[in-house]
Amino acid sequence: MTIDDPRLVTAADIAAAATRIGRFVRQPALIPADVDRPGGPLWIKPENLQPTKAFKVRGAVNAVTLLAEGGRATRVVAHSSGNHAQAVAFAARRHGLRATVVLPDTAPPLKVEAARAQGAEVIVVPPADREAVALDLAAADGAVLVSSDDPAVIAGHGTIGAEIARDLPDARVVLAPVCNGGLLAGVAVALKAADPSIRVVGVEPALAADASESLRLGRRTRWPVESTYRTMADGLRAPVLGPTAWPHIRALVDDIVTVEEEDIAAAMSVLWETTGQVAEPSGAVAAAAYLFRRDALPTGTTVAILSGGTVAGPPVAVEQSVRHDTAEAGSL
């Protein structure tokens, strides 16, 4: 079965999530980035410092805690490119629940092993089969599917926006990576509740730009998996926005911009050089927009969410590695 809650997420939901997840997750302080760009200074929200090295732990812990406290599950299932799987496994382990996660065969080995290290049963399938296999597993024995588009997950992610509003009241622009839209949706709810004048902008790879096309057309648009899986940003390869995230994005997000692959790789190095933070490609896209798409962004003090840092090796080696992976992905 799945978590079923058709309501739009509210600021009250996010506040409740913050209380619920507080003992499991960190609230990383904003870091100033020493980069010289016109239009306003840049601050980084380093979610790579979370226990699972990515923001996904916030939403997963909120959703799984609700399930555990309500006695609604003994086993949870998730499908993911990697970080959500780790997060669900982390949350399940801390509540004594079993976890099974479905990952694509293109997932970085580091993320696969990290999910196993958290105690999850890992099933690897072709990318296009992820969702169907997870749904079948959940239906087979009554496990609960923890989707990255669940309202409870979105509320957990929204705590990032609430912390940004609290810690930097004069922030004018917040940049958030876009995969299925759960992070962007939750952050937009929190920020617009705190200050409706804050501009919330999503960022995604140009090779996986279904979200920007959706916002432009006013309807959810699905891209072929063969297209979205070309990007080095493995955490942002979802082919379509989630049905729960979409109405939040349509109502609250000011724009979604795209960045090129070489800009993502360059941003990883800049983040290391200016802040000492390690970003995976998906985690660097927001900073890439600030660095290379200033013409497309509003002016003012800007916060870029560094959404994850599950990578191995020094920044130069990582940049070379992701460039090589991108070349291979282009041949899929």
CATH 3.40.50.1100, the chain: domain bounds: 11-54+154-329, 57-145
219-258 per-residue burial string, b: 16 or more CB within 10 A, e: under 16: ebbebebeebbbbbbbbbbbbbbbebbbebbbebbbbbbb
In degrees to the nearest 10, what's the CA dihedral of 60, 66, 69, 73? -70
DSSP 54: B
| Residues 183/307, Cβ–Cβ less than 8 Å | yes
CA distance 270 to 264: 10
In degrees to the nearest 10, what's the CA dihedral of 287, 288, 292, 294? -40
Q: How many CB atoms lie within 10 A of CB 8?
A: 15
- Written as one letter, the residue type at 309 is G
| Residues 207/282, Cβ–Cβ less than 8 Å | no
CA distance 233 to 280: 8
In the sheet that 98-104 helps form, which strands lie side by side, from edge to edge?
121-125, 98-104, 75-79, 144-145
| Residues 172/201, Cβ–Cβ less than 8 Å | no
CATH architecture of 11-54+154-329: 3-Layer(aba) Sandwich (3.40)
57-145: CATH topology: Rossmann fold (3.40.50)
How buried is residue 197: exposed, middle or buried, by Cβ count under 10 Å (0-12/13-18/19+)?
exposed
Print pLDDT tens along the chain (332 aa): 334 455 789 999 999 999 999 999 999 999 999 887 777 899 999 999 999 999 999 999 999 999 998 887 789 999 988 899 999 999 999 999 999 999 999 888 999 999 999 999 999 999 889 989 999 988 888 889 999 999 999 999 999 999 999 999 999 999 999 999 999 999 999 999 999 999 999 999 999 999 999 999 999 999 999 999 999 999 999 999 999 999 999 999 999 999 999 999 999 999 999 999 999 999 999 999 999 999 999 999 999 999 999 887 555 544 555 444 444 433 33
